[in-house]
Structure 1
């Protein structure tokens, strides 16, 4: 028994199965389903904080949701766009689009170059048509028709024995389809280049500090798969001043209207240049973009230990918790004696007590106030393990308390100093410095992707607004009997005896715009006027 006889009905060979699978993957239905699936898969990335966008927000989210964090990490929900499952959907979509677009490119290319089709045998059976009689010869009628239609139409080359002229306009609509589908591949190529060779990083900079573009300076850094460190441009910039324009009155009082960071930057060893960094107005340095994406406050705090030595001093970044810029921060003094000192708590830009509760009523730092709890003992700072500067390890620490056993709270306003119990030291609130968060990115394929988007718009407009239309003009010797043309009462008159020419004209609209009667009437008028 042969192998073909051994196969059961409906059973596919490996080659047939592969061919069937390829047809399914590259079908337009599959491409649309994958596009919808990709949109759904992107929803967690817009709802859940992402490591490559705002690692500070991820840290804060993890501290607020400790039970959900392990599950989210297993599902890569903090890095949706770089997760294996999202990459698989994206890769399948690319394969599907390429598989269904490339064959269509050939179809559109052939359609764009195709000649107008020959005239149907019975033009009077088309929905929009007319006939009339003229004394001009058939050759003269066809010559005039070819001249008139050739001005705005593509005319089919004349062949020996043809008794008609075939013309078509709007064929560039197929070119629009071709450009639109080709642009999709260009956009995918541009996005792919950015993902492979580009990088994106973020850093928080306090006013007065300087950033140099090297890996050690970033708070978070996400390179592409083919990124090389030598791609990073040699530049540095300093944050000279950061200012916020707050609305003082009206229904939006308390909201920020404009942010601006005055920068001084150097490229290589070049001269210093100034730039005012604003939202949606990035600084571009040799293909690298610097964006302003956030800001906040960094209270300057000095901690002295029990021996009077400075154990910690400097601006401390506090992370905003809401739109009023109520912020959370952590202070760690690992060298303090007799024991390590840790502080964690809230910063109120404009402090006020309302109904016995501390609140901040304004985002501007009009009355900056700190309220923190103190800890001492082992804060996990001597183990050498990596520890976030925004998290205080209290597992082995002891909370500082008052004599009555209640937690000791460090409440400070600018210029205040609080003495810690049990000779642990003092805490001083010196001043408030603003900080900004900048995103620095290099996207090699962005110009290609932008060009693809522009081409897509051009192709889409062409395919939507260009109206394909076909016109046929046939000239035949008039029949021996005189009278109006068949199926039409619009003939201009009758002729006695034989001679003359019967002209049949038909217009076919391929876009359904419903204006063919006017087009037909205008063409008849032009032909008749040309015959005079």
Structure 2
């Protein structure tokens, strides 16, 4: 009586695990997960993705939604709730990613015993008809002593790095042997599956424990700027140099930066495009540069609450103005606007900037044009435009999953090389001794491989024979496969007419498929 029946219909934990395991190593389930992963990735590519630093700021994220609202209209907020605008860190993507990893693990562990059994305990005995219908088969008559021919065949196969196993199951069938080469290479599929798991896990680790900020700006000469993200790091830009081609395009630019950790300088580095600064798993890359407005903000009591450079790194839709944002400690925000390079603005003159003040809900409160060095009061705040400065824009990232991705990539290459260029090659050989000449028969059920078939032909010819049947005889060839599990291909049945209703019965003759040999074979020789 089964456990389920004995317990009144309840499923035991062991049976539940088996059912879940069968589900995860089911090919259809795996394909659906791959389709789901492809769909979610496509969504992440086609839809605008919000940077992590913007999503972390509720005010800036609301601004982002307002910007994309004309495109998606009433779908904007439902899409936001589903994680469409941050797909690669959303819960649907994480869940599908994790399920796909579990599916690959289940498929790998399910197939490993078969791969191991094929490599360590191959089926060495086949029936006579196998040599007629194997994908690659050769038959030749060779003169001489059968035992000497058998020994020579073993020697030549061993010289070609084949493992040779003698088959003494039935002496009446002649002299038999099994030979294979690259028997461990099918395990490359397990290696490739492991690689996919590592790569997917690496992506999960990076998306959930790392960060990637593309717009970390550091004004030149304004002291250390905190990196955030729980790093206790800060970056100070001491100087900046840039050079240009004759057409005005940037030729080279570099920032002399100092990295601070826990309030102490730890590194100084000349940061260029192809010369990043590394601190542990955190990497700083030079990305862009521009001008910033040096701003000071004081409260109603005259206490300084902000002194920083606001990078004017964004451009209006008409490209006539540049602007930058800066959040204030009380939740409000200022937007500093200046004419774009080479543009003349009727409202903003030389040495001036326009400052828009927004409340915590990002509703406009005040707007003023400030001249350099002349403070103005805006909603109880004293705002001063001090001067113009350069800034350097950095990409800052922490990729905790990188080691897993690199290891997975290496294993993937090794697995693909092993399965594509070192395919498992198997041969069954039989010699029928005869006074008039020995009949040499060779067969292999493996997929067609022109190079391997040519090698088999040369091997037969090296033994002094000429082939009388080949794998290209389409009228004789059938898909005869050596069973990889405990299954045995059923014997072929005799023919019948359309109106014949008598039960099918096997013919008396042995009409062949490979059959497994239980236990180990004797008299083996390993190359």
TM-score clears 0.5: yes
Q: Work out which of the residue numbers 81, 87, 94 in structure 1 matches 2:94.
A: 87
What is the CA-CA distance between 1:328 and the residue it aligns to?
A: 2.0
- CA distance in structure 2 between the aligned counterparts of 1:194 and 1:185, rounded to whole angstroms: 14
Q: Are 1:450 and 2:459 counterparts?
A: no
Which of 143, 148, 153 is the matching residue for 2:156? Answer: 148
Q: 2:284 aligns with which of 290, 309, 312?
A: 290
Q: Which runs of 5+ in 1 are unaligned?
A: 6-11, 222-228, 336-340, 360-366, 381-386, 401-409, 479-498
Q: How far does the alpha carbon of each residue in 1:269-323 deviate from its partner, in whole angstroms, 9 at most, with x for none? A: 9986432334465322233333445544312256899999999765223342379
1:28 matched residue in structure 2:
27
Q: How does 1:33-432 map to 2 (within 5 A)?
A: 33-46=32-45, 47-52=47-52, 55=55, 58=61, 60-65=63-68, 70-115=77-122, 117-122=124-129, 123-126=131-134, 127-135=136-144, 137-160=145-168, 161=171, 163-194=175-206, 198=210, 203-211=216-224, 217-218=226-227, 221=229, 237-244=235-242, 246-249=244-247, 254=249, 256=250, 259-265=253-259, 273-279=267-273, 281-293=275-287, 295-301=289-295, 314-321=308-315, 326-330=321-325, 344=335, 346-352=337-343, 372=354, 380=359, 387=360, 393-394=363-364, 397=365, 410=369, 428=385, 430-432=387-389
Structure 1 range deviating more: 172-181 or 285-294: 285-294
Are the aligned partners of 2:162 and 2:181 in contact in 1 as well (CA < 8 Å)? yes
Q: Cα distance 1:286–1:437, how it changes in 2: closer, same or farther (>3 A)?
A: closer
Q: Does residue 523 of the first structure (1) align with residue 459 of the second (2)?
A: yes
Match of 1:484 in 2: none
SS in 1 for 2:450: coil
Q: Which moved more, 1:27-36 or 1:65-74?
A: 65-74
Shift of 1:195: 5.3
Give 1:329 deviation, angstroms.
2.8
Secondary structure of the equivalent of 1:239?
Answer: strand
Q: 1:426 to 1:164 in 2, by over 3 A?
A: closer
Distance in 1, matches of 2:335 and 2:263, equals: 42
Relative distance call for 1:472 and 1:125 in structure 2 (3 A) is same
Kept after mapping to 2: 8 A contact 1:45/1:78? yes
Local SS of the residue matching 2:217: strand
Deviation at 1:457, TM superposition (A): 1.4
The yes-or-no answer on 1:466 pairing with 2:422 is: yes
Count of equivalent residues? 438
Deviation at 1:156? 3.6
Distance 1:369 1:274 in 2: 33
1:316 aligns to what SS in structure 2?
A: strand
- Displacement, 1:148? 0.7
CA deviations over 1:164-205 (Å, ceiling 9, x no partner)? 232122434312112112323333444455556555667432
Contact 1:176–1:460 under 8 Å retained in 2: yes
Aligned to 2:122, the other structure's residue is in SS state coil
Taking the TM superposition and a 5 Å limit, the aligned residue runs for 1:468-487 are: 468-478=424-434
Bigger RCO of structures 1 and 2 (CA < 8 A, at least 6 apart)? 2
Aligned to 2:495: none
8 Å CA contact 1:116, 1:155 repeated in 2: no
Contact kept, 8 Å, 1:158 with 1:165, in 2: the verdict is: yes
Q: Which runs of 5+ in 2 are unaligned?
A: 466-527
TM-score under structure 1 length normalisation: 0.66
Q: Please give the per-residue CA displacement for 1:316-350, whole angstroms capped at 9, x wherever unaligned.
A: 23342379795323579999xxxxx9964533441
Q: Distance in 1 between matches of 2:282 and 2:329?
A: 38
Could you give the per-residue CA deviations for residues 185-236 of structure 1, whole angstroms, max 9, x where no partner exists? 3334444555565556674322234547xxxx345x3xxxxxxx7xx5x765
| Alpha-carbon separation, structure 2, partners of 1:151 and 1:326 | 77
Which stretch shifts more, 464-473 or 95-104?
Answer: 464-473
Residues 463 and 99 (structure 1), Cα distance of their counterparts in 2 relative to 1, 3 Å cut: same
How far apart in 2 are the matches of 1:439 and 1:153?
52
Q: Report the Cα offset of residue 27 of structure 1.
A: 1.7
Distance 2:279 2:350 in 1: 36
Summarize deviations over 1:397-437 as a string: whole Å, max 9, x none. Answer: 3566xxxxxxxxx387xx6979999xx99965622321323
C-alpha distance in 2 between matches for 1:368 and 1:146: 92
* Secondary structure, counterpart of 1:525 in structure 2: helix
| Change in CA separation of 1:419 and 1:85 when aligned onto 2, cut-off 3 Å | closer
Structure 2 distance, partners of 1:307, 1:270, is: 32
Deviations 1:242-274 (A, max 9, x none): 44555542xxx65x5655333233678998643
Answer yes or no: is the 8 Å Cα contact 1:131–1:503 preserved in 2: yes
CA distance in 2, matches of 1:33, 1:318: 47
Asked if the contact 2:429–2:440 (Cα under 8 Å) also holds between the matched residues in 1, the reply is yes
> C-alpha separation between the residues in 2 aligned to 1:266 and 1:427?
28
What's the C-alpha RMSD, in Å, of the aligned pairs? 4.7
